[in-house]
Copies of this chain bind each other. A is one copy, B any other.
Amino acid sequence: MELREELIEQVSKARSAATRLARTSGGMRNAALLAMAAGLEEQSAFLIEENRRDLEAGKGKALAPPLLERLALHPKTIAEMARGLKEIAALPDPLGEVTRMWRRPNGIQVGRMRVPIGVIGIIYESRPNVTADSAGLCLKSGNAVVLRGGSEAIHSNRAIVRILREAAEKTGLPAEAISFIDTTDRQAIYLLLKLSSYIDLIIPRGGEGLIRTVTENSAIPVIKHDKGVCHTFVDGSADFAMAESICLNAKVQRPATCNAMETLLVDQAAAAHFLPRAIRKFQEAGVQVRGCERTRAIVPGIPAASEEDWTTEYLDLILSVRVVRDLDEAIEHITRYGSKHSDAIVTNDHAHAMKFINEVDSSAVFVNASTRLNDGFQFGLGAEIGISTSRIHARGPMGLEELTCTKFVVFGQGQLRE
């Protein structure tokens, strides 16, 4: 019970800070972001010292080298965090915009104004840069943030938050707008997820396990950033050189990301011509290719893809390949096995392009482009807090606008309800 009371005290302060923050000008919030960036740069030595404590604890717990690398803060990563905050400061203020205002027959003018969501809880793992990044995006959009990072980064996260809070306060914003759950007790997550009177939205950032824990236990709305089982379909009418470069990019440019391709679908009319060369290119790039029966008939020596392969997010240099009868079978495969994340068609047939765009129900659907482009920066949203796989509120890359909600504003001259 004591931990619960402590948490309630903390998030109720965040709630009050949110009310104050919602009334600040964009200029004030930008000044705070720049002060936060300067603070991180100036206190770089302190950050590296605190980070060393996490790294030593990590080595003691025999964390794998890639995890230690993700955890490490260097002058360069600190400079990147600071640059991230400056870039957020330079973006347009998402608040106060009334995109449209219309007049009703009785003369009232009705519009929708963009306002902050309120208090946003971010539950994340590993990389300490998420701390600065999330706090920056929430502050810019007028939201108070409650941060709960991974236990392996607690010293680094605590140090980053201390600097950010000092900077916010120095520029006249409430320090409580950036709130840090300073305990490694996992119970805190479960307790936090029940505080729906204080927190308006939870965004989990991390692996499948974390996301499942959060979704299953939250009484607060959650926007998920879940896995991507992404497809590229090479149509019979495709420009094969274009198809090859798109497929290679989607698979190998950064295979560990959610928008990397996991399954290649090829129209039977294209398979015999396209696959031998494409599969050789994949293999040259270090990709292990698994195929359906028809793929293996065209390119012998490839291991067989199992039913499980079609639903697997490899996040690795592995690719499953299937020859399909036609566009309909490709769409059917994507609908059945995909995760509605990022899917592409390569085609020169206009009707096929439009059918794919209309019928494939993914957060981003591409014609003649790499699925790797499903990203807030690539789409021009300016920044992103992740790629939502939820269908409610935000779907696909979540930028600053997706960290806001709206209210109706109505101007009348005495109108009544009849």
Nearest residue (CB) in B for A412 is B369
Stretch at the interface among A29-37, A72-80, A144-152, A372-380: A372-380
A372 touches B417 (CB 8 A): yes
Judge whether A396 and B392 touch: CB under 8 Å: no
Find out whether the CB atom of A414 lies under 8 angstroms from the CB atom of B222: no
Q: A residues engaging B (CB < 8 A)? A: 19, 22-23, 96, 102, 104, 108, 110, 113, 115, 117-118, 196, 200-201, 215-216, 219, 221-223, 239, 242, 245-246, 249, 253-254, 335, 353, 357-359, 361-370, 372-375, 378-380, 390-393, 395-397, 405-417
Are A365 and B408 touching (Cβ within 8 A)?
yes
When the two chains form the complex, which single residue of B216, B249, B364, B414 contacts A368, counting CB atoms closer than 8 Å?
B414
The 23 listed contacts between A and B (C-beta, < 8 Å) are: A23-B359, A104-B380, A196-B215, A201-B392, A221-B222, A221-B392, A223-B392, A242-B413, A245-B414, A245-B416, A253-B416, A362-B407, A365-B410, A366-B410, A368-B413, A369-B415, A370-B417, A372-B417, A373-B416, A375-B417, A392-B392, A392-B393, A396-B406
Q: Do A410 and B196 touch across chains, with their CB atoms under 8 A apart?
A: no
Name 15 extra pairs, CB < 8 A, besides A239-B414, A373-B415. A23-B358, A104-B380, A113-B357, A200-B391, A200-B392, A221-B221, A221-B390, A223-B392, A362-B407, A365-B407, A369-B412, A369-B415, A373-B416, A375-B417, A396-B407
Which residue of chain B has its CB nearest to the CB of A404? B391
Which of B253, B409, B412, B417 touches A417 (beta carbons < 8 Å)?
B253
Q: Is the CB of B216 within 8 A of A115?
A: no
CA distance A373 to B108 in the complex (A): 9
By DSSP majority rule, is chain A's interface helix, strand, loop, or mixed? mixed
Q: Judge whether A372 and B416 touch: CB under 8 Å.
A: yes
A384 to chain B, nearest CB (A): 12
Q: How far is the CB of A69 from chain B (nearest CB, A)?
A: 22
Q: Are B110 and A391 in contact (CB under 8 A)?
A: no
Least distance between A176 CB and chain B CB atoms (Å): 16
Given known A221-B392, A222-B221, A407-B362, contact A242–B110 (CB-CB < 8 A): no
Q: Which of B108, B117, B414 contacts A392 (CB 8 A)?
A: B117
Distance in angstroms between the alpha carbons of A249 and B407 in the assembled complex? 22
- On chain B, the residues within 8 Å of A253 by CB distance are 416-417
**Which residues of B lie under 8 Å from residue A201 when comparing CB positions?**
391-392
